[in-house]
């Protein structure tokens, strides 16, 4: 080389991150919007489930932690609804509002269920992230990092109550 640094492009091992390909765009968009509809429903049922956990949490500190998570789930639902509207030009219908939750056997089993639910949600949202158009990825990234944060909180609550 001539003394100038050309960034990572000068290295033969560099593989640039490519934006989402336009090949089969409509097929991928159908999958993404379907997964977003599922995300809307999932965030709503999580919200109802967390309302229950708040009502049975043994300490005010735990109630506050779960309340902050529940509020994030509301935010995620709102963001997913906006994404859906932007991608399809339509508002999601009432069918995407989620189902009633199953009451857990105990507070601790509810915390465990919530922890596993947050991790599974992250995995689903990662799939959406890979296939959604570039301009929407920051919104998905915010939701995904919140899900990991929630899993950490639920892990702490589980360890505290075990």
Residue 4: pLDDT over 70: no
Higher pLDDT: 1 or 42? It is 42
Q: What angle do CA 142, 65, 161 make, to 5 degrees?
A: 125
Helix pair 60-88, 137-161: axis angle to 10 deg:
160
7: pLDDT strictly greater than 60: no
- pLDDT for residue 13 is more than 70: no
pLDDT band at 17; cut points 50, 70, 90:
low
> CB neighbours of 75 closer than 8 A, spacing ≥ 6?
146
CB of 121 closer than 8 Å to CB of 144: no
Identify the DSSP state of 23: T
Express each pLDDT in 78-112 by its tens digit. 999 999 999 999 998 865 555 677 899 999 999 99
Residues with Cβ within 8 Å of residue 91, at least 6 apart in sequence: 81, 84, 85
User: Quick one: average pLDDT of 31-41?
Assistant: 92
Domain spans of the chain, in order of start: 27-161
pLDDT value for 144: 97
Residue 19 has pLDDT above 80, yes or no: no
Q: Closest by alpha carbon to 119, among 99, 144, 139?
A: 144
CA distances to 102, 135, 159 from 42, rounded to whole Å, are: 13, 23, 25
A 10 A CB-CB count for 136 gives 19
Task: Please check whether residue 39 is in contact with residue 124, taking contact to mean a CB–CB distance below 8 angstroms.
Answer: yes
pTM, entire model:
0.81
Cβ(103)–Cβ(48) below 8 Å = no
HSE, side-chain direction, 13 A CA sphere, residue 151: 14
Close Cβ partners of 97 (under 8 Å, ≥ 6 residues apart):
40, 41, 44
Give pLDDT, residue 20.
Answer: 52
In this structure, which topology does domain 27-161 adopt according to CATH?
Ferritin (1.20.1260)
């Amino acid at each position: 080389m001539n003394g100038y640094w050309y960034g990572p492009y000068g290295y033969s091992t560099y593989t640039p991150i490519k934006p989402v390909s336009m090949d089969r765009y409509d097929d991928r968009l159908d999958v993404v919007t379907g997964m977003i509809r599922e995300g809307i429903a999932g965030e709503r049922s999580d919200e109802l489930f967390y309302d229950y956990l708040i009502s049975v949490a043994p300490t005010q500190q735990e109630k506050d932690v779960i309340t902050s998570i529940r509020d994030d789930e509301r935010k995620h639902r709102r963001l997913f609804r906006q994404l859906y509207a932007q991608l399809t030009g339509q508002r999601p219908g009432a069918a995407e509002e989620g189902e009633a939750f199953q009451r857990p056997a105990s507070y601790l089993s509810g915390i465990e269920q919530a922890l596993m639910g947050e991790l599974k949600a992250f995995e689903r949202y990662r799939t959406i992230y890979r296939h959604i158009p570039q301009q929407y990825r920051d919104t998905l990234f915010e939701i995904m990092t919140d899900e990991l944060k929630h899993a950490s909180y639920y892990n702490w609550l589980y360890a505290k109550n075990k």
